[in-house]
Amino acid sequence: MNTDETTFIKQPISRRTAIRGAALGGAGLAAAALIGCSSDDDGGFSSENLTGGELVVGVGNDLNPKGVPYRLQASTTGMVVRHAFGTLLQYDEELQAEPYLAESVTIADDAMSCEIKLREGITFHDGRQFTAEDVKWNLLKVTEPEQRSQLGQIAKGVENIIVADDRSLRLEFNRPMANFTDLLVISPMADPDTFDQIETGMFNGTGPYRLTEWNPKESVKMERFENFVLDTPVMDSITFLQFQDNQAQGIALEAGDVHYIHEQVSPEDYERWSAGDQIKTRAAIERGSGWYFGLNCAIPPMDDVRVRKAMNLAMNRDRFLNEVLLIGRKMTTPWPTFSPAFDEAIDSQVTYDLDAAKALLAEAGYPDGLPEPITCTLLPTRLAQVRCGEIWQADLAKIGINLEFKQTEYAEMIGMLSSGTFDQAWVGFGYGFGQFQPATTVQVAFPLRYPNTSNYEAQEWIDAVEAIKNASGGADELGEVYDRYTQAFVDGHFVLPFSPRTALNARAGNLEDYLNVYGIPFFERFGFTN
């Protein structure tokens, strides 16, 4: 067997916040934190015995520059953005914040301000110096409503930005920001001078690779940025090669035309390759993201919670896991098991029960089932989710609900996700950010925040979201706030999680990979073995 199967179990948030100087106490945040100080420690990574060249990554969708870089995306776009646009901080394997574009970040005792010092010599790909004014511009830009960014709600906590010089700035907050470090880890830094050209594929960032070629619906190529101020990337270039389905990607990997597949490996291929010695595999399970079915509460009959609950009770999560997903666990709430917001008792409240589902439909005025079909937007390239959808479709038919699928391209679905314009239901997307502090999760993840993709507006839900955003106190107080949110989430039945978004990855036998603690690839640290 040639597998590196890993369940990314991370430390509780309480430890993480303490590490970052943001441990919540009764009166606020406990201590100031100094993050960075020009440390060159890279967590043990070494490029010794690794060679570069062209890394070919198999992907299932095209680059979608609309909304880049603030509208956070996964798949091809997320990987390209991650390597083209730098962030001020990043988390290492132990979830300690480490400097990236920032040399240091010092958070005040009361968590109402911080001082940021940038590294010397950072430039954008076109050669222009990256300055503190660029940081200010980005933190203001991300809050603009037209950006429709998940980060905007967090960034609005920054009240004032004072630039001292090209490398130094001070941020003052309008509330204690226990999750401020998350913002600096997630927020990409764009170039103000070329920002209006991003939608044409002009990604002028500060990251380790620069975008050099984009053939729509075919491939994207990035080349090493020679003036990158941190460790020199091992790989000379990265090519993202697009395929129509998982099977075609797998054939290309076996043939040597592709070196790496991220998250798009079918469970069947994963098991087969893990039993052999030609292809290496890795599974990242508990990493803060999940698969779900979404329901749009703005379109009848999805505006009736009894109909939504009936559809949730008709979901056979055990069958999804045992017959399709194969690796992971079943879930009904949005939290990974390592999160302090995870509550097993609440997570087990929703069970598969067709009789109860039928009774709910009858109570809602549909004793013979719904008279009209429910349209479900579907991303066809994610075959495992398609199969789960087909199982759900068959069970819904047993209670009188006709689910009709409408295939849609990834880029179009991204637009629907950020604008809340899906059909009555959708499947094929996952949510993320559960690996961060709960306050970040409920402000950043489109399906889990308010306003949200489902257009769900129950007052108890809105109040629960606000409570987490402004939470303080000890573990007991925070636990009550988290349970309040999770119970309101379950009671709303507008997002129906069914499994962690397990990342099944595969790579050529002569390729060494490097993924962080929640399963994101750092291609600059990939390399071929001799």
pLDDT at 261 over 90: yes
pLDDT in tens, 337-360: 989 999 999 999 999 999 999 999
pLDDT digits (tens, 9 = 90+) for 387-424: 999 999 999 999 999 999 999 988 899 889 989 999 99
CB 435 within 8 A of CB 500: no
Contact 2, 274 (CB under 8 A): yes
Per-residue pLDDT at 5 exceeds 70 = no
What is the number of residues in the chain?
530
Instruction: Give the DSSP letter string of 477-519.
Output: HHHHHHHHHHHHHHHH-SEEEEEE--EEEEEETTEE--B-TTS
Measured CA to CA, the distance from residue 291 to residue 325 in angstroms comes to 11
Per-residue pLDDT at 9 exceeds 70: no
For the cut 60, the answer to whether the pLDDT of residue 16 exceeds it is no
pLDDT in tens, 309-320: 999 999 999 999
pLDDT of residue 266: 87
Strands 425-431 and 374-378: parallel
Phi, psi dihedral angles at 246 (to 5 degrees): -65, -35
Q: Is the pLDDT of residue 17 over 60?
A: no
How big, in percent rounded to 5, are the helix, strand and coil portions of the chain? 30, 25, 45
pLDDT of residue 94: 67
Higher pLDDT, 74 or 303: 303
Confidence band for 172, pLDDT divided at 50, 70 and 90:
very high
- Pick from 111-115, 178-182, 239-243: least confident: 178-182
From 342, 344, 349, 337, select the one nearest 479 (Cα to Cα): 342
**d(Cα 394, Cα 403) in Å, to the nearest integer?**
9
Q: For residue 85, give Cα distances in angstroms to 126, 206, 261, 470.
A: 13, 5, 22, 30
Of 122, 91, 85, the residue nearest 105 (C-alpha): 91
Q: What pLDDT does residue 272 have?
A: 94
Between 241 and 469, where is the model more confident? 241
Using a 10 angstrom Cβ sphere, with 0-12 exposed, 13-18 middle and 19 or more buried, the burial of residue 269 is buried
Run of H or E including 387 = helix 383-398
Helix boundaries (H) for 180-256:
180-186, 246-255
Determine the Cα angle at 278 with ends 275 and 280, to 5°.
70
- Report the distance separating Cα 107 and Cα 109, nearest Å: 7
Give the neighbor-by-neighbor strand order of the sheet with 158-165: 33-36, 102-107, 113-118, 168-173, 158-165
In angstroms, rounded to a whole number, what is the distance separating the alpha carbons of residues 77 and 407?
20
Q: Provide the percentage of residues in the chain whose pLDDT is more than 90.
A: 69
- Average pLDDT in the chain: 89
Of 11-15, 84-88, 241-245, 276-280, the poorest mean pLDDT is in: 11-15
Contact 239, 233 (CB under 8 A): no
Q: What pLDDT band is residue 490 in, cutting at 50, 70 and 90?
A: very high
Given pLDDT bands bounded at 50, 70 and 90, which one contains residue 2?
low
Q: How many Cβ atoms sit within 10 Å of the Cβ of residue 27?
A: 10
Closest CA to 351 of 319, 379, 315, 375: 315
Beta carbons of 394 and 72 less than 8 angstroms apart: no
pTM reported for the whole predicted model? 0.78
pLDDT at 218 over 80: yes
Q: What is the dihedral of CA 410, 411, 413, 416, to 10 degrees?
A: 170
Give the residue-averaged pLDDT of 8-13. Answer: 30
Beta-bridged to residue 223, according to DSSP, are: 210, 237
The sign of the dihedral angle between the CA atoms of 47, 49, 55, 56 is negative
| pLDDT at residue 1 greater than cutoff 80 | no
Say if residues 105 and 97 touch (Cβ distance below 8 Å): yes
CA atoms of 389 and 391, how far apart (whole Å) = 5
The predicted pLDDT at position 530 comes to 73
Tokens 């204690």 belong to: 176
Look at residue 15 and tell me whether its pLDDT is greater than 70: no
Q: Each residue of 428-475: pLDDT tens digit? A: 989 988 888 899 999 889 899 999 999 999 999 999 999 998 887 788
What's the pLDDT at 36?
Answer: 56
**What average pLDDT score do residues 294-304 get?**
98
C-alpha 417/C-alpha 420 separation (Å) is: 6
- Does pLDDT of 278 surpass 60? yes
pLDDT at residue number 444 = 87
Q: Where is 155: in which H helix or E strand?
A: helix 152-155
pLDDT category of residue 44 using cuts at 50, 70 and 90: low
Query: How many helices, marked H, and strands, marked E, lie in the chain?
Result: 16, 24
How far is 43 from 47, CA to CA, in rounded Å? 12
Structure confidence at residue 33 (pLDDT): 52
